Each structure stands twice: as C-alpha cells, then as structure tokens.
Amino acid sequence: MRGLGPVRLAMMGGMMMAMLGFFIFLLTKLGQPNMALLFADLDRTDSNTIAAEVGRLGYPVEIRDQGTAVWVPADKALELRLQMADRGLPVGGKVGFEIFDETDSLGTTDFLQNVNLRRALEGELGRTIQSMDIVHRARVHLVMPRRQLFSREEQQPSASVVLAMRSNKRLDHEQVSAVQNLVASAVPNLKPGRITIIDDKGKLLSPGFEDDSSPNTVAAKNEERRRGFEARMARTIEELIEKTVGFGNVRAEVNADMDFDRVSTTEEIYNPDGQVVRSTQTVERAARNQESEGDPVTVGTNLPDAAPGGGDAARAQSDETSTEETVNFEISKKTVSHVRTDGEIKRVTVAVLVNGIQGKDEEGNQTYTPRPTEQMELLATLVRSTIGFDADRGDSVEVVNMEFASPVRFEEPLELFFGLGKNDLLRLAEILVLSILGILVILLVVRPLVSRAFESIPSAHEAAGRLLADTSSQASGLLGGPSAPAPAEMEEEQFEELIDIDRVEGRVKASSVKKVGEIVEKHPEEALSIIRAWMYQEA
C-alpha cells in the first residue's frame, strides 16, 4: 500500500466513498415502496395532521405539491383512506363541533363558550357548503350580536360567505339562493337578505341587506329567466336535430330579447247590440185654466161709496194634458285586466351549426361530405317551428353546414402486461435502469481501479527487494572491500531473515523494514551515500 503513494490512496478512498454512497442510494431507491396519492388539494393543516396520523400507524408518507398532497404506499392507499375517513380526516382546515370535545367546559368562561359556538357553526356550515360538487372551498363568517341588558333595540345577525369554485365554474341564481337559505336556516333570526356571498375572484354573487323586491335582485332574476329560456330552446333544438344528424353533430345558440317590464292593463268593452231595457218611467200631467173678463176702469168706479159695476163678465177656459215616458237601457260591458310579469319575447335569433356526413373510404381514411341543400332547408323549417318564428317581430334563424373539428385524441394508457398496470411497469423500468447503471459502474469504474491497485503492489515488492539487495551489497563493499561476500553467497536462513519476498502477499513485512532501519543505523554514512546516489539517478 505504501507503494501507491498518498495521492493515489486519497483518490482511491474518495472513489470508494462515492461508490459507497451510490450503492446506498441505489439500495434505498430500490427498497422504497411504490407511492400512490392519498389526498390532494388539502389545506396545510390537514396535510400535517394526516401525515402525522399515517406515520403513527407505521407507514411511510410523503408530502408533495407544496404541502397540498399526501402520498402513501400504493398497496395501502385504500386502507389508509378508509382509516382517515373513520377519524374524520380531512376536515378542510375547519373546526366544527368537535371543538367542545377538546375543551374543559367546567373552567371555560361564558364568553369563550360563545366564541367556540360561533367557530363551530362557521366550520360546520363551511363543510356543508363545501360538500357541493361545484364548490372547491368555502369559508363562512357569522356576526351574532348579543342583546345588551335593558336594551330595547335588538340587532339582527348577518353573515358573509366566500366560495372557491372548481374548474372556473360558477353558481347560478338558484344555487346562490340555496346557499343563502342554508346559512339562514342554521343561524337563529338570520334572514337570507342579510347574507353576502362572493367568490374567490372578488365577484359579488349575492349582496346582503336586500330583499326580493330590490332592483338588483329583480334584475338578477330577470337575467336568470332569460338565460334559462335561451338554454331551454337551444337544448330542444339540439335534441330535435340530433335525431336526424346523429348525437354530437349539432350545436345551437339562442339569443332572446325579452321585456320584463311589469304591465297591468284594464279594458272595458261595451256591446251596443246587446241592449236590455232596465226600467221604464211614465209621467202624465193634466191642467185646466179658466179666465174671466172684468168691468172697465172709470172715474166712477174709483169714487168712494161707488158700487161696483154689475153684470156677468166674459169667461175663457183651456185644458192642457202632457205625457212623459223615460226608458232606461242596460248595455252589456266586459272588463278585462292584463298583468304581464314573466317577460315578453320581443325578438329571437337562432344560430345552428350542423356537421356534415363523415365516413371512411376503401383505404380507411377519414372522409367528409357536405349535407344536401334540401336537407338543410328542412332542418331550418324545423327550427323555425320549434321557436315559434315570427317575421313581424324580427326573428332570425340561420342553419349552417360546416365540418366539425376532430377531437384531440390523447395517448392511450399502457395496457396491462401480466397483470401489471402502468405504475407497476414504470416502477420495473426504474429498477431495471438503476440496476444496469450499478453494473456498469462496477465493471467500468470499480474493477479497473482494483486491478491497477493490485498490479502496482507486486512492482513495489520487487523494488523493495532490489533496494535491499543493493543496500546489502553496497554496504558490504564499503565495509569489507571487494572481497566481501555478495548477498547471493549468504546463507539461505540469513537471507530469509532480511526479507521474505515469497510470503509478502501484497505488502512488505514490518520485519524487513525494521532490518533495513537497523542497517541504516549501523552504517549511517553509507546509507547517506546510497540515498545521494538515488537522488542523482532520479535527476
């Protein structure tokens, strides 16, 4: 080993350490179980809780995706998922009524009990709303003011809800109203109008402190009605045309212009032909007038004590008769009241896209053939009849025949091979690659280094033997002159005492080195001259 030198020994030590680390990594990698996803999209609190629970059960666990996913051995994934569900995990990072199981009610103040009750209600409502398929995450905030002592006014509770949707979906008006009523039913004295709902993008879904008669609520309902009418008409058109062109070969879009103004109309209709005598009144009058002609006025008639004139005066007599009849007729009248609240359709436009005829030729290539004009006209007629087409109000229907884009086909997953799935095949491929890499490292790196090391040791042994022989001969020449015996003339036992080359077996014995040291101590000047000679020879 001394013949290798410190540099080569250090290099070999470094290579051995690197190889040891590589094989430890290889064994660790091969010994790891195949991991599978246990839960994803978790709250970090749930991730830590689940990881600790799985570790307590004695199974390896990994947390990935920035603390939102937990991976466990594939053969234990289903079992662990059931065990976590039995323990109520994951909880969505929310605290429910289990908070009262962890607190000591005996030493808890009334204020802390009320705070825990509010937290429990918020957590349970968040879990319930989050159970909807369209909702990814929900957070509820409740404000439940307590009535002060001797206070005449009672403050109403309120709530706010923040929703995170899945895959950029959104709630319609009915679903938002359902969330409002759900929260209102769970909190005493809470009205649905005092619940504000927003989404994770900051969009206001339902403003609070508004009743159903507020302008914003009415406008939202009207918009929802219009969209519902458009979706219903489009679905009806697609279902009708798909009977002819095939499923998935038609797309319809409907745009309706509707008037949601509340209109109340009252009409009174009179029919002059339907007269009926209601009452008759007859009044008869008769009068008789009689007039007499008197004496003429003279001076004598104006004297005192004058006697009136004698004789009968002429008399005039007249009779008068009148009859008045009043007849009251009743004319038939009809009163009609119209109240329109559902909205009036002012105009409808429809666009229908129909795919052509697709097939394959003799060589198996995909072919496309446009549909006949007569068929497209018949389809347009069906669409007009479906929507109640009215040209006077400006309705429009367009039916176009175009080729649909082919759907993107993703690569099919690896087929099962001897009962092995895709993950199993990938695991086997990983093990095979690492094994081949380890074999190559052994053959190309470790084996040459070991061979060179063992080849250099015999050369070091031979050099040491020549060194001892030269040293002995030179020392004998210096001490005894030319007549001194050569090392070959020494007795066999004395020569084996100096160095035993046959039994070296990879290294110079300590006894041989000790003998050389003794020779140098006995003959320091000769040893110095030999070393100088070596230095001159190397130079």
Amino acid letter, residue 466: R
- Stronger pLDDT, 421 or 371, i.e. the higher one: 371
Would you state the structure tokens that stand for residue 126, as one six-digit string?
């968040």
**203-212, 230-239, 449-458, 468-477 — which one is most confidently predicted on average?**
230-239
3-state secondary structure of 12: helix
pLDDT at 171 over 70: yes
Count Cβ atoms within 10 A of the Cβ of residue 491 and give its class: 0-12 exposed, 13-18 middle, 19 or more buried. exposed
Q: In whole angstroms, what separates CA 372 from the centre of its chain?
A: 44
pLDDT, mean of residues 476-490: 44
Q: Please give the Cα distance from 159 to 198 (Å, whole number).
A: 12
Angle formed by the axes of helices 215-245 and 173-186, to 10°? Answer: 130
Would you state the structure tokens that stand for residue 201, as one six-digit string?
């993008």
Angle formed by the axes of helices 77-86 and 44-56, to 10°? Answer: 110
Q: Where are the beta strands (DSSP E) in 294-343?
A: 314-340
End-to-end CA distance of the chain: give it in Å, rounded: 25
Distances from the Cα of 224 to the Cαs of 187, 220, 221, in angstroms? 28, 6, 5
CA gyration radius, the chain: 58
Taking alpha carbons only, the member of 209, 44, 207, 183 closest to residue 123 is 183
Would you state the structure tokens that stand for residue 164, as one six-digit string?
């995170």
- Stronger pLDDT, 407 or 438, i.e. the higher one: 438
Token pair 């109008």: residue = 193
Q: Which of 50-64, 77-91, 327-341, 508-522 has the lowest mean pLDDT?
A: 508-522
The torsion of the CA quartet 113, 114, 120, 126, rounded to 10 degrees, works out to: -160
pLDDT at 436 over 50: yes
Whether 465 and 504 have beta carbons less than 8 Å apart is answered as no
Q: Which domains does the chain have, with CATH numbers?
A: 33-93 (3.30.70.1530), 112-146+155-210 (3.30.300.30), 424-538 (no CATH)
Strands 158-165 and 195-199 turn out to be parallel
pLDDT for position 483 = 41
Amino acid letter, residue 513: V
Mean pLDDT of the chain: 75
pLDDT, mean of residues 494-517: 54
Q: Which of 29-43, 139-153, 416-430 has the lowest mean pLDDT?
A: 416-430
Q: What percent of the chain has pLDDT over 90?
A: 13
Condensed to tens digits (0 to 9), the pLDDT of residues 71-92 reads 888 777 888 888 887 776 776 6
| Peptide bond connecting 304 to the previous residue in cis, omega within 30 degrees of 0 | no
Angle formed by the axes of helices 215-245 and 373-387, to 10°? Answer: 150
Condensed to tens digits (0 to 9), the pLDDT of residues 210-249 reads 555 666 667 777 887 888 889 899 999 999 999 999 888 9
**What is the DSSP-derived secondary structure letter of residue 527?**
H
